[in-house]
Amino acid sequence: MSGLENAAGVVLRRAVELDGSSRFQECLVCYQEGIELLLQVLRGTKDETKKAHYRQKLSDYMDRAEQIKQHVLKEKEEGKYHKQIKILENATGYSYENLFKPYVNETLTEVWVEDPYIRHVHQLYNFLRFCEMIIKGPSKVKKINLLTSRDEENGKDQQSCALQEIKNSLQDYGVTLEVTFSPSIHDREIRFNNGWMIKIGRGLDYFKKPQGRFSVGYCDFDLRLCYETAVDIFHNNHTRKT
């Protein structure tokens, strides 16, 4: 039981840390996960003194989680929700899973990606990793729309072949990929049809290239060094319709 209690403590300490930084959407996820772990600890505890201690902790965390939930809902309803995350130079821990997880839920069915730089091999792999994150759930995405610029130099065939391969692979998972090219695109943003919009200064290409294929960070994006960039997250009630 000590292992479960330690896990609950780690998650809840992270929730409090995020709460203190006003990262409410992320801390709410951590509060919910930590509360569930602590409930499991409570169910397995026979000592009445410890039970009373855990019940008080649960009550405090649940009250705070409910306050944050209502705050976030109010901002969503008023169309005022805006959060900015500043990724520092050489920071780690900003995989697509960590960055997008709070916004990829069961209400999500369609995604729009606007990024002019899905051209080179590493950028195409970035887009593939993003698609993998999306289809792992809990979302029920049926369509991903990509608006990008065409590589008119040496990699034109490479870009077309790679995107077609990604498209064919996504079809095996019941997801349609629609690719559109624009010579004038310059904005970088990701929109979800559950109301979330995320703007990343560098688009999906905010990771530094690892030193080699057998270097730490090559497979795990959480361990990969990042470029300095800003991530702006918005929510509005007017979602796009398919």
Residue 193 predicted with pLDDT over 60: yes
Residue 100 lies in a domain: yes
pLDDT of residue 239: 46
Is position 30 within any domain?
A: yes
Q: Would the pLDDT of 201 be above 50? A: yes
pLDDT band at 99 (very low <50, low <70, confident <90, very high): very high
- Under the banding of pLDDT at 50, 70 and 90, the label for residue 3 is confident
Q: What is the pLDDT of residue 132?
A: 96
Residue 242: band (very low, low, confident or very high) from pLDDT cuts 50, 70, 90: very low
Q: Is the pLDDT at 15 greater than 50, yes or no?
A: yes
Do residues 127 and 55 share a domain?
no
Closest C-alpha among 106, 166, 98 to residue 131: 166
Task: State both tokens at 175.
Answer: 């997801």
In single-letter form, the type of residue at position 74 comes to K
Same domain membership, residue 69 and residue 110:
no
Average pLDDT over residues 119-138: 93
Mean pLDDT of 179-189: 91
Which residues are within 8 A (CB) of 82 and not within 5 positions of it... i.e. 6 or more apart? 232, 233, 234
Contact call for residues 234 and 82 (beta carbons, < 8 A)? yes
Per-residue confidence band for 105, with pLDDT thresholds at 50, 70 and 90: confident
* Helix or strand holding residue 209 (H, E): none
Is the whole model's pTM more than 0.85, yes or no?
A: no
Mean pLDDT of the 131-158 span: 88
Residue 188 C-beta-side C-alpha neighbours within 13 Å: 17
* Distances, alpha carbon 87 to alpha carbons 99, 108, 120, 154, 186, in Å: 11, 26, 23, 32, 21
Whether residue 62 is found in the same domain as residue 101? no
Helix (H, G, I), strand (E, B) or coil at 150: coil
pLDDT of residue 223: 95
So what's the pLDDT on residue 1?
A: 53
What pLDDT score does 71 carry?
A: 85
Over residues 121-150, mean pLDDT: 93
> Could you give phi then psi for residue 48, rounded to 5 degrees?
-65, -35
Average pLDDT score over residue span 110-126? 95
Share of the chain above pLDDT 70, in %: 95
From 48, 77, 106, give the residue that closes a domain.
Answer: 77
Give me the mean pLDDT over the 59-69 stretch: 94
Give the residue numbers spanning the domain of 123.
82-235
What mean pLDDT is predicted for residues 87-109? 92
The SS3 call for residue 74 is helix
Average pLDDT, integer, range 34-43: 93
Task: Report the number of distinct structural domains present in the chain.
Answer: 2
Q: Is residue 240 assigned to a domain? A: no
- Asked whether residue 72 falls in the same domain as residue 170, the answer is no
Same domain, 104 and 218: yes
Percent of the chain with pLDDT over 90: 65
Task: Determine the average pLDDT of the residues in 108-126.
Answer: 94
Q: Which residue, of 47, 77, 107, is where some domain finishes?
A: 77
Position 100 scores a pLDDT of: 92
